[in-house]
Amino acid sequence: MDQNKKKSKKSSSYERKQGNKGNSMAKRKKEKAVKNKPLFISMIICLLLFALLLFRIAFLQFVQGAELKESANRQQTANRIISAKRGNIYDSTGKLLAASAPVDTVSINPSQIKKENKEQVAKALSTIFNLNYDEVLEDVNSDSSVRTIAKKVEQEQIDELKNWMETTEIYSGINIDEDVKRYYPYGNLAANLIGFCDTDNNGQEGIELKWNSVLSGTAGKMVSIENAKGSLIPDNNESYIPAENGNNITLTIDANIQTIAEKYLKQACAENNCQNGGTVVIMNPSNGDILAMATYPDYDLNSPREPNSTLATTWESMSETDQLNSLYKMWRNRVVSDTYEPGSTFKIITAAVGLEENIVSTDTANDFSCIGYEMVNGIRIDCWRSYTTHGTQTLRQALMNSCNPALMQLGKRIGAPTLYKYYKAFGLFNRTGISTSGEANSYFWNLDDVGNVELATMSFGQRFRITPIQLITAISAVANDGVLMQPRLVKQIENPDTGAIVSINSSNVRQVISKDTANKLMDMLESVVADGTGKNGQVRGYRIAGKTGTAEPDENEGSYWVASFVGIAPVQNPEVVVLLALHDPQGPNGHQGSTIAAPVVSQILSEVLPYLGIPSDDLSSAEGVNTIQTTTLPDVRNKTVAEAKKIIENAGFTCKISGSDTSLVVTDQVPKPGTALIHGASVNLYSSGNETRVSQQVPDLKGMSYAQARNALKAKNLNIHITGNGYVLSQDPMAGTAVEEGSVVNVTLKSDIENSH
């Protein structure tokens, strides 16, 4: 029993030990489980995070991949415009009139500027470029891909911006791109003709506007990848489209002639207090080239939006609308954009029609009569000199006197339908097509509305309106043997990249009047300058043809006086036609074209003709007599009148025929065959049954210059033969002698005689 008890105790002790051991293991396991729980949780969390990360990556890759790629490209891709260089404008001698200088344009990519930098960037840009901060901040915060901040920026401001970017290390989203700025080396020269450009280098006026598509070229483009500092990142997708530079153009304008014209126009407007300024245009009649074209007042092409000195006096008192309208008026090229009443310069056209239609001849005695006015439908229309009369006159004398009644009488003989036919032929009903902007058209009555009064006033150049370019183009046809040319401003276009040149040829429009009619007109217009109202248009050493003009105000239209003069030189082979108009002159010298416009054209021609190398035929110098060439008069007796006329004109002379039947045989001619005559001398032809002779009294030529003496004799259909140089010392036959028309008067010149005229 005791053994059993001992066994039982041992057994119980063993069990206790085993139980304790089991409890200890369980305890240790429990403790271990407690210790491993955080690790397990961490693993679970890591697994969950990893799963979320994988999900996120998958989402970004497959769901938002395209959008994120586009966003990255948007932030790193720099789209930049490469400005094309605008073509240069040159004058006919190669002088640079308009060019483009390198500058910079500053722009931003708002999406690339960090949010925390936006206000700082806006403040810097507004300060450096003197801009409104709120407006710049709005640009910086916009959704646009690109916003332009400042155009045509000079280097000083660009350097300041670059220094700021380096100091702040803010580069992203700020672009500095090369650009070009238009500038004009001569400032005001030909301003109203050349015109100017806006800040985008688009032409706004004149040649710049008309030829914008030729001058502007095509902008290029560069797409590249940049880092935060704006440095390029090599990328296969980079693309570059080069800019195509604009073409250069060469004008017919000669800067030297333009300078001369502008100098005297400005001076005339100041001296005569011209309230509405003035215009001048110079044309080569043989090819239509415009050598100069000016409007006064003008403006500085480099600052076209600043008022000129004329506007500046009242600028601050104007409303914004008035200021803008004043600028438009200041920019306008009035030679092509404004119409005016031409006045007596238009008598050239009326006379041309009358001669071409054989309604009148140059020197028919007592052909017209002037009592100081003309009554038309009970309305008195005065001659410009109504306080005295011109009496009876030839057409030559009527033009020399600028007689309104004589031209009204001629207009009545011609009739409105015939006048309108020639107006159309002279191009007066249509724009000339000159290659600059803003050309206006004329204003004439409808033919059905032309009554006797309208016909009368129209005949001497009033109560209708044309542009100066229309008038000078028409008159140049007279100086060009009757051939109308289209005015030309641009003579060639050059591609600066290839050197290819395209020439723009002169354009012959039509033959308006015959060469014979043109020669007769030129002869009479020379008389106007030699001894008529155009005396102040004379140029020493040159034979000048011309016509004065004075347009009276029309109270119903609110118009004003316009004084004008057209000069043509030299007479024998015209190379220059000048038309000057002074608007609303209120100076001490009055408002007549003869007194205030003709002298200005004389000044212009006195510089332009020598500049062009046109030789003088001044007989006041020792060598002058040698410049006058003579031709021996051929014998045309026993030929038909038609044949004789052709031979005489081919020899350089003009014909006066007795009778109208050209099939008759010439029986006599005056002067006699073999006589040495100067170019343009008059020859009288007589045929059987038409031998009525007309005599003329020889005028007193003493003290006259060669040109004056020649034209005094021409007015009487007499010819001149000269000996010596200078002024008329003696003449044969003597003054007052009756001689037959066509006879030669021998004149002796001497250089030291006092000029009594």
Residues 6+ apart with CB under 8 A from 101: 180, 181, 183
Between helices 347-356 and 515-531, what is the axis angle to 10°?
140
Residue 450's Cβ-side half-sphere holds a number of Cα atoms within 13 Å equal to 20
- Rounded distance between C-alpha atoms, residue 684 and residue 673, angstroms: 11
The CA-CA-CA angle for residues 586, 590, 593, to 5°, reads: 110
Residues 6+ apart with CB under 8 A from 733: 698, 739, 745
Q: For residues 491 and 329, is the Cβ–Cβ distance under 8 A?
A: no
- 755: helix, strand or coil: coil
At CB < 8 A and 24+ separation, what contacts does 33-36 make?
none
Dump the DSSP string for 577-643.
Answer: EEEEEEESB-STT-S-IIIIIHHHHHHHHHHHHHHTTPPP--TTSTTGGGG--EEEPP--TTSBHHH
> Which has the closest alpha carbon to 533: 461, 616, 596?
596
Q: For residues 684 and 659, is the Cβ–Cβ distance under 8 A?
A: no
Structure tokens at 674: 């073999």
Q: For residues 704 and 679, is the Cβ–Cβ distance under 8 A?
A: no
Q: What is the pLDDT of residues 541-571, one digit of tens each?
A: 899 999 999 999 987 777 899 999 999 999 9
Q: What is the pLDDT of residues 665-724, one digit of tens each?
A: 889 999 999 898 988 899 999 887 777 788 899 999 988 888 888 888 988 889 998 887
Q: What is the pLDDT of residue 620?
A: 46
Q: What is the pLDDT of residue 12?
A: 55
Q: For residues 459 and 260, is the Cβ–Cβ distance under 8 A?
A: no
- Rounded distance between C-alpha atoms, residue 439 and residue 677, angstroms: 46
The single-letter code of the amino acid at 479 is A
pTM: 0.75
**Pairing relationship of beta strands 630-632 and 174-183 according to DSSP bridges:** unpaired
DSSP 8-state symbol, 19: H
**Kind plus residue range of the DSSP H or E element containing 120:** helix 118-128
**Widest CA span of the chain, in angstroms?**
201
Structure tokens at 502: 């395209």
Inter-CA distances, 747 with 262, 473, 603, 695, 719, Å: 40, 38, 29, 19, 10
> How many other CB atoms are there within 10 angstroms of residue 396's CB atom?
28
Structure tokens at 177: 């791109």
Q: What is the pLDDT of residue 388?
A: 77
DSSP 8-state symbol, 673: T
Residue with tokens 């407690």: 34
Residues 6+ apart with CB under 8 A from 615: 627
- Rounded distance between C-alpha atoms, residue 151 and residue 174, angstroms: 14
Residues of the chain with pLDDT under 50: 1, 228-230, 232, 619-626, 753-757
Dump the DSSP string for 337-385.
Answer: H--B--GGGGHHHHHHHHHHTTS--SS-TT-EEESSEEEETTEEEE-TT
Whole-number CA gyration radius for the chain: 45
At CB < 8 A and 24+ separation, what contacts does 733-736 make?
733/698, 734/698, 735/698, 735/699, 735/700, 735/701, 735/702, 736/697, 736/698, 736/700
Phi-psi sector, 138: left (phi>0), alpha (psi -120 to 50), beta? alpha
Q: What is the pLDDT of residue 615?
A: 86
- 475: helix, strand or coil: helix
Does the N-terminal peptide bond of residue 574 adopt cis geometry, omega within 30 degrees of 0?
Answer: no
Q: What is the pLDDT of residue 598?
A: 96
Beta strands in 297-378 (DSSP E): 368-370, 373-376
- Rounded distance between C-alpha atoms, residue 521 and residue 422, angstroms: 15
**Kind plus residue range of the DSSP H or E element containing 139:** helix 133-140
Q: Which residues pair with 655 in a beta bridge?
A: 683
3-state class percentages of the chain: helix first, strand second, coil last, to nearest 5: 40, 25, 35
Residue with tokens 């085993």: 18
Beta strands in 154-246 (DSSP E): 174-183, 220-226, 232-233, 239-241
Residues 6+ apart with CB under 8 A from 349: 422, 423, 426, 428, 474, 475
Structure tokens at 112: 């690339």
Inter-CA distances, 646 with 341, 376, 642, Å: 39, 41, 6
**Pairing relationship of beta strands 248-251 and 89-90 according to DSSP bridges:** parallel
